[in-house]
Structure 1
Amino acid sequence: MASIRRRTLPSGKTVWQADYRDAAGNRRHKQFRKKGEADAFLVTVRSQLAAGTHTPDSASITVEEAAGLWLERCRRDMLEATTIRQYRAHVNLHIVPRIGATKLSRLTTPAVNAFADQLLRDGRSRDMANRVLRSLSAVVAEAKRKGLVAANNVRDATPIKKGRRGESRPEMPTRDELKAIIRATDDQNRPLILTAIFTGLRASELRGLKWEDVDLKAGVLHVCRRVDRFNQFGPPKSAAGTRDIPLTPTLLKTLKEWRLACPKGELGLVFPTGAGNVESHGNILARLFWPLQIRAWVVNMIDGKDEEGKAIKVPDAKYSLHALRHAAAALWIEQGLSPKRIQTLMGHASIQQTFDTYGYLLEARDDDKAAMAAVEIGLLT
């Protein structure tokens, strides 16, 4: 039975104490400065007890402690080293400094919304804030699994919306820039660049692609693995990342020729180092894609200095390798592939992710069969 009584502490301070019994029948109490605050607390407690979602403050752990349990679970589940590193950064850089000392029992939906607002005020991007909130939700979910909190209030928080339309559009080469890049690519690197443009593979998927994943007879590329920054093989980012991608006619011909010239190695990689090992992302950028953009004059002009130290404008590569993935999606959309088909080819976990990224390009159309062959028209001719 719940009750409120007035108490005078040994210090002489007067407080209002709310007494109640939790779901296990244990007596609990909490002190407030005003009677109205105690009344409001008991109303909330009764509602939580009825719903089975009440956790007393004294039995609750902090967000920091819960985050430690979650990271330990990630290590135990043998998630990729890069994934754990990213999660740890979310915890150490964003979550713990702001709400690490907060009890899970006090992590209410309004408190989570306030945390999200604080991330934005502190200069974090909307995308980063949403990633941090997803990690926080996973932290609370793990605590709930262990019986340390009854509800995951992070899931009920108001999601951070995208900015104005066009504000977060992905950067990608234009059709003319793609044509310039292809023209400037030498024969040795042409297979990798064409594969990136016409399949939309992530850099990690390109680096981990094996010849056993490429069906040159059927003209289909099977995406079933990737490598992380430590060159460790693993599955695609999500279950949806395992997918089949039809090869365009010219790309199929190029890969058949490349199969004969490709450096051999025990790993059987499609785009290996000269010794047949996994090529690093940094080397692909520094030795291939950035110099390639300079040759193609797909550049931004930035401040630099000449040999005499005078300030001049110098060309700098305009795009990351990931921009070719976006370009592939844009080419498919241009040819009329449906949003669901785009989702499948890109390996997106949800159709919402596809709409969030390419919604400004998507149009509902019917046929996608001839489109795969038509994608390269205008670029290679």
Structure 2
Amino acid sequence: MSGRSRIAFSKTLNQMAIRKRAWVTPAGESKVAWLVDYRDQAGKRRAKQFRLKKDAEAWSVGAAWQVSRGVHTADSQSVTVAAAADLWIAKAEAEGRERGTVDQYGQLARLHIVPLIGAERLSRLTRPMAEAFRDELVATRSKAMASKAVRALSSILTEAQRRGLVAQNVAQGVRVTRPKRERAKVSIPTKAELRAMLDHAPDDMRPLLSTAIFTGLRASELRGLKWTDIDLKSATITVSQRADKFGEIGPPKSEAGHRTIPIAPALVAELTAWKLRCPKGKLGLAFPNGQGGVHQYGHLLRRKFFPLQAAAGVCDPVIIGGKPQVDKDGEPVMQARYGFHSLRHAAVSAWIKQRIDLKRLQVWMGHSGIQLTLDTYGHLIADASQDAELIAAAQAEFNS
């Protein structure tokens, strides 16, 4: 503590008056309490009552330190974490956030935040309490879910701080760290697997599959892609909207999601032919369902993409309890090997092998920053043979 901070703290503590309060209840019972009378950092008079004098004295020390630093919140100004979570969710709805995002906020609050810390008042939250909340999450949830819940609590407190309901965000900086060995590597289909899927794809599925493999667009972007955003003459696809998991059309989730990607002549030919037979709909979608509307993501996976992999032999037996499962006819039960997002990874893998520069890769993927691209695909960028060439060239330059 600096000298100036120590002086401010001492001055604030000296101004906190602790006095005894006695009264008689309507039932004739004598009561005694200890009242801390003080002024907050804005100069407003506040009071807090305690049953024991030692509790009042202990609280006044902490409150004096908070007031001297300008981060004190009186109980009368505060709300519970649960109430603050409701305000956070309401703000997301008012700002027109996607339905899926609002639903996710609600689930995080309802299932992971409110049960553990929802009854606490914001004014009583401390950094140790936020860390204890984190520890409880890690002990009872997956690391990924614990991380989401901790970030959500920090966002809730940031919104409460904006509203003047709390003076500081004690969850800021609280993190759930995941060792790199625990992070799942991207799953990339081989060339043979991709070729098998394309060869077995029905006529209404092959254009979508080809576009996913050769452009790296997300499933939501493909499901929301309009024909007006496909320039067959210039051989480009522009991402200007997406379809969420409820089938609702909206803008890309981030500014970086707005992008234009070049496409190869073979894909131009594929899409040109597909445009003639594509189901028509009022939304003008390039990959609609049979009625011209938005493809439901679950339907696309269960009815089309997963069966396609089974037909192409890109699948594995279902093993439960160490035993392969069989159907009623005694045939092994098979499951698809890849999720739809793996096609995006396949596109990146192909681009990296062509030695695409990192900035272009980031833009084509729609990543908000280069670090996300490196964190996700950095292991693919490593090239031992090129490394050896670079080292040899550097040594030759030194010796020349």
Instruction: Find the residue that maps to 1:288 and give its secondary structure.
Output: helix
Q: Distance in 1 between matches of 2:61 and 2:355?
A: 56
Listed as ranges, the matches of 1:59-70 within 5 Å are 59-70=77-88
Match of 2:378 among 342, 359, 364: 359
Residue of structure 2 in register with 1:373 after alignment: none
Q: Distance in 2 between matches of 1:233 and 1:357?
A: 27
Structure 1 contact 336–363 (Cα < 8 Å) conserved: no
Residue of structure 2 in register with 1:56 after alignment: 74
1:307 aligns with 2:328: yes
Q: Distance in 2 between matches of 1:68 and 1:247?
A: 45
Listed as ranges, the matches of 1:76-225 within 5 Å are 76-122=94-140, 124-157=141-174, 159-165=175-181, 167-225=183-241
Residue of structure 2 in register with 1:326 after alignment: 345
Shift of 1:4: 5.4
Q: Distance in 2 between matches of 1:224 and 1:147?
A: 37
Q: Distance in 2 between matches of 1:13 and 1:339?
A: 72
1:26 aligns with 2:40: no
Residue of structure 1 in register with 2:251 after alignment: 235
Q: Which amino acid aligns with 2:257?
A: G
Instruction: Find the residue that maps to 1:28 and give its secondary structure.
Output: strand
Shift of 1:16: 7.5
Shift of 1:52: 2.2
Instruction: Find the residue that maps to 1:155 and give its secondary structure.
Output: coil
Instruction: Find the residue that maps to 1:160 and give its secondary structure.
Output: coil
1:244 aligns with 2:260: yes
Shift of 1:258: 1.6
Structure 1 contact 339–362 (Cα < 8 Å) conserved: no
Structure 1 pair 330–51 and aligned structure 2 pair: CA distance change class (3 A): farther
Structure 2 contact 46–74 (Cα < 8 Å) conserved: no
Shift of 1:44: 3.6
State the TM-score, normalized to the length of structure 2: 0.80
Task: Report which of the two structures shows the higher radius of gyration computed on alpha carbons.
Answer: 2
Count of equivalent residues:
359
Structure 1 contact 224–242 (Cα < 8 Å) conserved: yes
Range moving further from structure 2, 11-20 or 169-178: 11-20
Range moving further from structure 2, 312-321 or 264-273: 312-321
Match of 2:336 among 298, 305, 317: 317
Q: Distance in 2 between matches of 1:274 and 1:133?
A: 42
Shift of 1:111: 1.9
Range moving further from structure 2, 215-224 or 249-258: 249-258
Shift of 1:300: 1.8
Structure 1 pair 113–332 and aligned structure 2 pair: CA distance change class (3 A): farther
Range moving further from structure 2, 187-196 or 348-357: 348-357
Instruction: Find the residue that maps to 1:361 and give its secondary structure.
Output: helix
Structure 1 contact 109–156 (Cα < 8 Å) conserved: no
Structure 1 contact 18–30 (Cα < 8 Å) conserved: yes
CA deviations over 1:20-42 (Å, ceiling 9, x no partner)? 3212331323548685x766644
Structure 1 pair 169–15 and aligned structure 2 pair: CA distance change class (3 A): farther
Instruction: Find the residue that maps to 2:332 and give its secondary structure.
Output: strand
Identity of aligned residues (%): 45
Q: What is the RMSD of the two structures over their aligned residues, measured on CA atoms?
A: 2.8
Structure 1 pair 248–64 and aligned structure 2 pair: CA distance change class (3 A): same
1:286 aligns with 2:298: no
Structure 1 pair 130–351 and aligned structure 2 pair: CA distance change class (3 A): farther
Q: Which one scores higher on RCO, CA 8 angstroms, separation ≥ 6?
A: 1
Residue of structure 1 in register with 2:16 after alignment: 2
Instruction: Find the residue that maps to 2:325 and give its secondary structure.
Output: strand
1:263 aligns with 2:263: no
Q: Distance in 1 between matches of 2:61 and 2:184?
A: 43
Structure 1 pair 14–348 and aligned structure 2 pair: CA distance change class (3 A): farther
Residue of structure 2 in register with 1:295 after alignment: 311
Q: Distance in 2 between matches of 1:22 and 1:290?
A: 62
Structure 2 contact 231–237 (Cα < 8 Å) conserved: yes
- The gaps in structure 2 that reach 5 residues or longer are 1-14, 319-323, 384-400
Range moving further from structure 2, 13-22 or 183-192: 13-22
Shift of 1:19: 4.5
Structure 1 pair 18–175 and aligned structure 2 pair: CA distance change class (3 A): farther
